[in-house]
Amino acid sequence: MPRHSFLTATASASRPESAITPIDVQNELPLTPEAAQAVENSREAVRRILDRADHRLLVVVGPCTIHDPVAGLDYARRLKKLADEVSSTLLVVMRVFLEKSLTTRGWKGYVNDPDLNESFDINKGLKKARTFLRNVNKIGLPIATEAVSPLSQQYYGDLITWTIIGVRSIESQTHREIASGLPTPVAFKNGTNGSLDNAINAIAATRLRHRFVTVDSHGHPCMFHTPGNPYGHLVLRGGDGRPNYDPASVQNAERAMRMAGLLDNIVVDCSHANSFGKPELQASVLANVIGQIHAGNRSLIGVMLESNLLAGNQKISEDRRQLAYGRSITDPCIDWETTETVIRGAAQSLRTVLEKRINRPVPQRLPPI
User: Where are the chain's structural domains?
Assistant: 28-357
Q: Are 297 and 321 in contact (CB under 8 A)?
A: no
| pLDDT value of position 278 | 96
Q: Are 297 and 245 in contact (CB under 8 A)?
A: no
Cβ atoms < 10 Å from Cβ of 247: 12
Q: How confident is the model at residue 321 (pLDDT cuts 50, 70, 90)?
A: confident
Backbone angles phi, psi at 64, to 5 degrees: -55, -50
Strands 186-189 and 232-236 come out as parallel
| pLDDT value of position 103 | 57
Residue 4 has pLDDT above 60, yes or no: no
The number of angstroms, rounded, from the C-alpha of 116 to the middle of its chain's C-alpha atoms is: 22
Residue type, 248: A
> Per-residue pLDDT averaged across 117-122, rounded?
93
Q: How confident is the model at residue 223 (pLDDT cuts 50, 70, 90)?
A: very high
pLDDT tens digits, 82-108: 999 999 999 999 999 999 876 567 899
Q: Residue 170: which of 181, 161, 162, 179 has the closest Cα? A: 179
pTM over 0.85: yes
Question: DSSP secondary-structure letter at 280?
Answer: G
Residue 285 has pLDDT above 70, yes or no: yes
| pLDDT value of position 319 | 84
- 256 vs 356, higher pLDDT: 256
Helix (H, G, I), strand (E, B) or coil at 307: strand
Sign of CA dihedral 103, 238, 264, 140: positive
| pLDDT value of position 7 | 53
Residue type, 141: L
Mean pLDDT across the chain: 93
Residue type, 10: T
| pLDDT value of position 8 | 56
Q: What is the CATH number of domain 28-357?
A: 3.20.20.70
Give me the percent of the chain exceeding a pLDDT of 70: 92
E strands present in the chain? 57-62, 90-95, 143-146, 162-165, 186-189, 211-215, 221-225, 232-236, 266-269, 300-306
pLDDT tens digits, 160-215: 999 999 999 999 999 999 999 999 999 999 999 999 999 999 999 999 999 999 99
pLDDT tens digits, 329-344: 999 999 999 999 999 9
Give me the percent of the chain exceeding a pLDDT of 90: 86
Residue 253 has pLDDT above 70, yes or no: yes
